[in-house]
């Protein structure tokens, strides 16, 4: 079973959402995008629980993740954004100072509590337990919604580098569980990293944050090279004028719809 995007519907939803923003320069909310994406794939939105699925349709469940990315607006050269320069925004990233690589865009999958002391356990114990726990969550969601296939959908969105348009890139494919046997585990100050070898460099492909961390405690994250996804689509719309606010007209409509005209 594959899923099919109605790109025209999503384009219209994005434009409608932009017209409804409260303040100039605001971005679309994750919840609005999540609902719009589910509808554009013909799925029912179910994503307010603790299961993997945000959308369900036919025999498929899908997790929808959204990330807003600011463009690089440059004064002396042409700017950059995730559509004009996808390799700079959506692929592997390197910290030049420490020569540390991440495999791609950071995706927070869920909070992943463990039934043992994550500070006293080895990095491998924490890493493997995190992967096992996430797989269990996906499987429980499959059973809950009586479907047999899991997809992941990642939406990157934000203003274009010339600030005259709004861009959304969508990436989707069946969810691919990480193979614990191919991962090298490393403990860091705030948690555990999972690393794989890519052309002689160690790339961080997952991360689990300690339960006592000040930020993002127990979060399980994956790092995705979105440029390698099986399916993708890009949408660019001009920045619309917002819906006009007319207090008199709106109050008159409220009064007309009120019971007994009160």
Which residues span the domain enclosing 197? 7-261
Q: Is residue 2 part of a domain?
A: no
d(CA 178, CA 92): 17
Q: Is residue 128 part of a domain?
A: yes
Going by their DSSP bridges, the two strands 60-68 and 149-159 should be labelled as parallel
Q: Is residue 93 part of a domain?
A: yes
CB 194 within 8 A of CB 183: yes
CATH number of the domain where residue 183 is located: 3.40.600
DSSP state, 154? E
Q: Is residue 1 part of a domain?
A: no
CB 92 within 8 A of CB 102: yes
CB 243 within 8 A of CB 20: yes
Sequential pLDDT tens for the chain (262 residues): 689 999 999 999 999 999 999 999 999 999 999 999 999 999 999 987 889 999 999 999 999 999 999 999 988 889 999 999 999 999 999 988 878 999 999 999 999 999 999 999 999 999 999 999 999 999 999 999 999 999 999 999 999 999 999 999 999 999 999 999 999 999 999 999 999 999 889 999 999 999 999 999 999 999 999 999 999 999 999 999 999 999 999 999 999 998 765 5
Angle (CA) 104-109-113 rounded to 5° is 130
This prediction's pTM: 0.93
Domains in the chain, number: 1
d(CA 223, CA 95): 15
């Amino acid at each position: 079973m594959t899923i099919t995007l109605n790109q025209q519907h999503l384009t219209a939803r994005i434009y409608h959402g932009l017209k409804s923003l409260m303040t100039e320069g605001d971005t679309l909310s994750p919840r609005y995008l999540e609902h719009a994406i589910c509808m554009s794939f013909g799925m029912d939105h179910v994503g307010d629980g603790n299961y993997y699925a945000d959308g369900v349709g036919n025999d498929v469940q899908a997790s929808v993740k959204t990330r807003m990315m600011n463009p690089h607006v440059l004064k002396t050269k042409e700017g950059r954004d995730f559509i004009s320069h996808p390799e700079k925004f959506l692929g592997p990233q390197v910290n030049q100072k420490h020569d540390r690589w991440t495999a791609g865009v950071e995706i927070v999958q869920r909070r992943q509590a463990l039934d043992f002391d994550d500070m006293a356990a080895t990095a491998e114990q924490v890493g493997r337990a995190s992967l096992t726990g996430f797989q269990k969550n996906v499987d429980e969601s499959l059973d809950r919604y009586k479907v047999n296939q899991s997809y992941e959908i990642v939406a990157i969105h934000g203003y274009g580098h010339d600030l005259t348009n709004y861009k959304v890139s969508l990436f989707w494919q069946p969810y691919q569980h990480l193979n614990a046997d191919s991962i090298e585990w490393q403990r860091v100050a705030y948690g555990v990293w999972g690393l794989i070898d890519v052309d002689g460099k160690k790339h961080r492909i997952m991360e689990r944050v300690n339960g006592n961390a000040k930020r993002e405690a127990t979060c399980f994250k994956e790092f995705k090279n979105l440029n390698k996804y099986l399916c993708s689509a890009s949408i660019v719309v001009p920045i619309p004028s917002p819906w006009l606010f007319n207090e008199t007209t709106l109050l008159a409509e409220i009064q007309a719809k009120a019971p007994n005209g009160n």
